[in-house]
Amino acid sequence: MATCDSGIEVTSKMHILLLPFLLTFLHLSQAQPPSSTVCIIGAGIGGSSVAHFIRKYSPDLTPTTKIRVFERNTIVGGRIATVNIAGETFEAGASILHPKNLHAVNYTKLLNLKPKQPSSGSLSLGIWDGDKFVFKTVEISCNISFIDKLLKLPFIENLVSLVNSGLMFFRYGFSLFKMQNFVQSAVDKFSKYYEETGSRPIFETVDEMLKWAGLFNLTTRTLRDELVDVGLSPLLINELVTVITRINYGQSVEMSGLGGAVSLAGSGGGLWSIDEGNWQMAAGLINRSDVALHLHEEIKSVADLGDYYELNSTKGNSYICEVAVVATPLDEINIQFIPPISIPERKLQHTHATFVRGLLNPVYFGLKAAAKIPDLVATLEDPKLPFTSISVLKKHNEEESTYKIFSRQPVADTLLDSIFSGRKETIRINWAAYPHYHAPEIFAPFILDGRHLYYVNAFENAASTMETSAVSAENIARLILSRYFGKVNVHSSNLKVVNP
């Protein structure tokens, strides 16, 4: 009996000694967030921004949550890319940023990137109808180097700019100011997406996101209808506005109104880019977001297996993820979803970017000298016209420049040979660049399956830019943190936590 009592006593003492350690262990295990993996398909600005905002808004998840980013190409950036011609780097895809693109501004500061300074002077513009220039701005230049330098003095350039503003006003009148007010109204509403997260909801649908900012109605009508209602003249709509929408979105003023407003905003002043390429934003965000990057690995299937997703790649690899994010347009890629998902059918607008190092042929434009050709040759909406625009990217010397041609169809060599008097280098890129916009727009869901499969590019049917991708990505990151991780510090007025 004594031996038995002694054993009980020893066991009891061990429980007392171990109790504090057990309590500490339980406390620590409960304090740790769940170990999980977020898989992001696409390493463009959308995918990289999702990774960035997940880390930014929940740094405590970093030790236990793994982020994998899959990119089918060998480089990051998606539709942001550059080409190198004659030792110069030029944007081949998404190229311009607006001064009020606050995510891009913050990325630039965060990543210590260098904004590219705009070139001195303004580009001359000519609107080409296929036979003649219906409108041209003034440009002053001289073949004599000393005089040409004098003509580039600030006060001379300011005088030329003033003259061109007068020419614009003489042709289009007060409609120019009405157009400016229309664009400013849209920009001001879009700026609501930068409000503090404590006062800004998390959105489950694109419709809800647009209605909250007061932008939804712009997606229900064409740009032409919107501009007629605000009093723009038919001449301004059919010429200058059409030129802008053709250059920025490859489409006419029959596109939906919000995309058109964003296009017009992309023609204003203060536009900028990143020195040596905008793709550096995506690369920098990925590098600092503690992710596992899988380059040149395309995801061919995403299967919902209940508590997690299984992603299978073309390399024969399988990955388990509790959360999956699609950050690439689903319109022209073949990812098999199990079970199938349902999204509205959408066509992408293909833009063919052709880069040429050479010299334009003045005869093609009915002019006597190449120097008389405007720096930007823009075109009207006419199916017979073989290109959307031709712009000078860099003047190397009097006999050679680098040009970018936008067109809806590939530009044949025979056409290039007639447009150019000589070509030293030609690079062609076919971009599935943005949605083909038509009103009323119908949006895919942010949440593709009611669980934890998310779609960044659902917002692209409203407008497609680097900044709109970042805005959508930030909302997706907040959705993930709220719905899967149950992060209460991310404010939402309309969501409930969904158990993983």
pLDDT band at 149 (very low <50, low <70, confident <90, very high): low
Please state whether the peptide bond connecting residue 59 to the residue before it is cis, i.e. omega within 30 degrees of 0. Answer: no
Measure CA 259 to chain center: 13
Q: What is the average pLDDT across 310-320? A: 97
Q: Give residue-wise pLDDT tens across range 170-224.
A: 999 999 999 999 999 999 999 999 999 999 999 999 999 999 999 999 999 999 9
Q: Which long-range contacts (CB under 8 A, 24 or more apart) does 176-180 make?
A: 176/236, 178/230, 178/231, 178/232, 179/227, 179/232, 179/236, 179/241, 179/264
pTM here?
Answer: 0.88
Token pair in block for residue 348: 């992408």
pLDDT at residue 8 tops 90: no
Instruction: Name the helix (H) or strand (E) containing 449.
Output: none
Would you identify the CATH topology of the domain 36-76+277-345+442-485? FAD/NAD(P)-binding domain (3.50.50)
Q: Which of 311 and 33 is assigned the larger pLDDT? A: 311
Instruction: Please report, in angstroms and rounded to a whole number, the separation of the first and last CA atoms in the chain.
Output: 53
Q: Which of 154 and 455 is assigned the larger pLDDT? A: 455
pLDDT of amino acid 388: 97
**CATH 1.10.1760 describes domain 82-104+115-192+203-274+347-435:** no
In order of 129, 315, 347, 352, the CA distances from 255 in angstroms are: 21, 40, 13, 19
- Looking at the chain, how many residues does it have? 500
Task: Give the residue extent of every domain in the chain.
Answer: 36-76+277-345+442-485, 82-104+115-192+203-274+347-435
